[in-house]
Structures are given as C-alpha cells and as structure tokens.
Amino acid sequence: MFKSKRLFVSACEPSANIHLQFLAKNLDSSVQVCGIFEPNVFAHFPNAKASYTLENFAVMGFFDVIKKINFFKEAINKMIKLAEESDVVLLMDSSSFNLPIAKALKKNGSKVPIVYYILPQVWAWKPWRAKQIESICDYLCAILPFELAMYPRAQKEKRIQYVGHPLLDEIPALKEQPLPLENGKIAFMPGSRKSEIQRIFPVFVKVAKQLPNKKVLIIPEHFKKLESYELAQIYGNDIEMFEISYDANTALYESSFAFICSGTATLQATLIGTPLVLGYKTRNTDILFARIFVRLNHIGLANILYNALHLGNSHIGTKQIHPELIQSNLTAINLLKAYNDTRPELFFSQVKELRDYLQHGSAEKVATLLTKLLHKN
C-alpha cells in the first residue's frame, strides 16, 4: 500500500506562516505535514497536524525568552524526534529555535534532507553562523539577493539559490500611481505581538487624533478569533477610533500612507507602493543588546535592500526609502513631520527599483525543491 510522504515544518513566526500558506498552495495535499504551524495554513491537507501553534511561541525581547527557556528546550527535543521520523525537514526563520533542531539531526546521523527557507539574518549579526548553517543544512533558499555571498561553500556545491521574495507572491500588483495624502485612508500597524502593540499603539493614537483622514487599524490575522472586548484589552479603548482590517494587503493598497512598527510589514507596504514611516520602541536593554551585536545603519528591510541594491552592501549607506523613528525618537510630533515631509512620487520611483531587484515570488521554487526531495526519499 502506498504510504504518503511526511514533511516536517517548523514555522514559529506570524510572517513565516503567511509565507507558508502560499507555499502550501503549490504542494500536493496528500503529503503528511507535522511540526509547528497554524492549522489554517494546511486546512486542505487531510493529513496535517501541528504539535504547536504560534500562541505557544508568542514572546518579545530577551527577558521574555528567558521566562520560557524550559518550554523551548522541551519543544526542541520533541521536534527533533518528530523531524527524524519525517522524509523532509523544512525550517523557516526563527534561527534560535530551528538551528538546534538541524544541528541535532546531523549529530544523530539523520539522513533526512534539511531545507532552510527564510534564512537567519547572518548579514545583520553573527556572520560566523553562515559556516554552521552551511554544514548542518542541506539546501538553503535565499529570499534576498545579497544573501548568496554569505554562503560561498553552499554556492560552490549548488546547495543555495535565490528563490525570490515571498512578499511578491502575496501582495497585489504595484499601485498604478501614489494616492493623494490629503484625503486618502491612513493605515496603522503597531505590530503583531501584544507587548509591542502596548508600547507603540498609544503613540500612533496621538497621531491619528491629529489627522482628519479615515484611519484603518490593521490587526494581525492570528487575532481574528478574539472577541471585541479581548481586542480592547490589547489595544485599549481608543481602538474605537479606527476602522478594523485583518487584510493587510488590501488595507495598505487602499491607503495613501502608513504608520508601521518594524518588521516584514514595512517591506510589504513599500512593495505595494504605500509611503510609510517606521516606528519602533522596545525595552532599552533590548536596544542595547541590538546595538552591541547588530552592525546596520537601518532596521527597515526596504532601506537595507535599497542600500544593497545601490552599494552592493547591506551594512553601509544612508539611502532611505522611508524614515525610521526608534525609541525616544518615536513621538507623535516626529511621526507627523515624517508624514508631512513625504514625497510620494520619489517614493514610488524607488519602489519600482526595489521590485525589479527582487524579481519574483518564492513559493513556486521552494515547493518545486520540496516536491523533488519528497519524491526522491
């Protein structure tokens, strides 16, 4: 009797699960899927069962991780055993969780091929990890063109490829032209974790109160199951000022400007063609750690990519597609200034350059690789 192949997936982040959802559309639904993911991602796969979901991994910052260290150790050990019993392993982002799984599999002599999609950001910090990743992962799927240079051994052995960027699978086409700032909708995205929302949203509220435009609050899709009173507990009573949207792509496409917490959403808005300002605030201790270890002039991925495009290096350069306001600079006054200083036509031309640089989406190429490996083993 034919036995269906088993794919182990470890996707602990909200953005990884969005990318995974598009990847799943390109996979055979008869494949057994196990590991860590949101159940709705593989809703049409009759043999998909998650051991953990995103709710189990909702942490932010160094001290939140410390509090759950025992849980993470237990989960890693459980996932190692599950991965060893699979035909292919797919790791997505979350390097502090996923690399120990890959390392243990190789140490145990496992022959299960390991595919890493959404690679650790070794170009931002800990560049020495690239050699380790090359040695413990069999196939590397780069979503940023400049990542290839970080893995010379994998390049030589043809185990790494630029697969495209997942956002180009997920977002609508680029706007035909920028929307006028004066009367367009304004989008607000204060983050996907409760702790960052509680730090950033109150500042965004102060801005919203000073703008006459219609305001849209983009809420993470994984909050969709929450009741209105539960959302009010996270965002506060000022949530009533906003139109609510769970569809970030549509809301951003219909908006003339966006105020966004750092993260994938900043690149998402950029590639859609919506001018934005990045606003980020966290614990001072977390920022201190970041400044010690991270050697970048920007934290916004669109800005990092734009400098890599023009200078061939993600670490240098001061070019900006959008402004960044971090920690004490994140004030309502500074956010409003960024809004008023926006030049939509210039922004739009820069976006076109960035889309050409990234070329295409990644779901099809990654699915092709996984399918090939599943059939091979």
User: CA 40, CA 83: separation in Å to the nearest integer?
Assistant: 21
Indicate the pLDDT class of residue 373, thresholds 50, 70 and 90: very high
User: CA 29, CA 44: separation in Å to the nearest integer?
Assistant: 7
Tens digit of pLDDT for each residue in 323-366?
999 989 999 999 999 999 999 999 999 999 999 999 999 999 99
Query: Of 321, 213, 316, nearest to 277 (Cα)?
Result: 321
pLDDT at position 292 is: 45
> CB burial class (10 A; 0-12, 13-18, 19+) of residue 326?
middle
pLDDT at position 93 is: 92
pLDDT at position 50 is: 96
Query: Of 123, 75, 182, 89, nearest to 316 (Cα)?
Result: 123
Distances (CA, A) of 215 to 57, 182, 257, 268, 270: 30, 13, 10, 19, 19
Backbone angles phi, psi at 347, to 5 degrees: -55, -45
Indicate the pLDDT class of residue 71, thresholds 50, 70 and 90: confident
pLDDT at position 288 is: 53
Tens digit of pLDDT for each residue in 120-137?
988 877 888 999 999 999
Report CA 370 to chain centroid distance, whole Å.
21
Sign of CA dihedral 260, 204, 251, 253: negative
Tens digit of pLDDT for each residue in 3-26?
689 999 999 988 899 999 999 999
Beta strands in 96-176 (DSSP E): 114-117, 139-142, 160-162
Query: Of 7, 20, 220, nearest to 118 (Cα)?
Result: 20
Locate 85 and state its tokens. 């019993």
Distances (CA, A) of 237 to 188, 193, 205, 222, 228: 16, 18, 11, 20, 10
The answer, yes or no, to whether residue 286 has pLDDT greater than 60, is: no
Q: Please provide the average confidence, as pLDDT, over all residues in the chain.
A: 90
User: CA 202, CA 239: separation in Å to the nearest integer?
Assistant: 10
**DSSP letters of 281-328?**
---HHHHHHHHHH---S-S-HHHHHHHHHHHS-SSS----SS-EEEGG
Distances (CA, A) of 19 to 2, 165, 248: 30, 10, 14
Domains of the chain: 6-164+360-375 (3.40.50.2000), 186-358 (3.40.50)
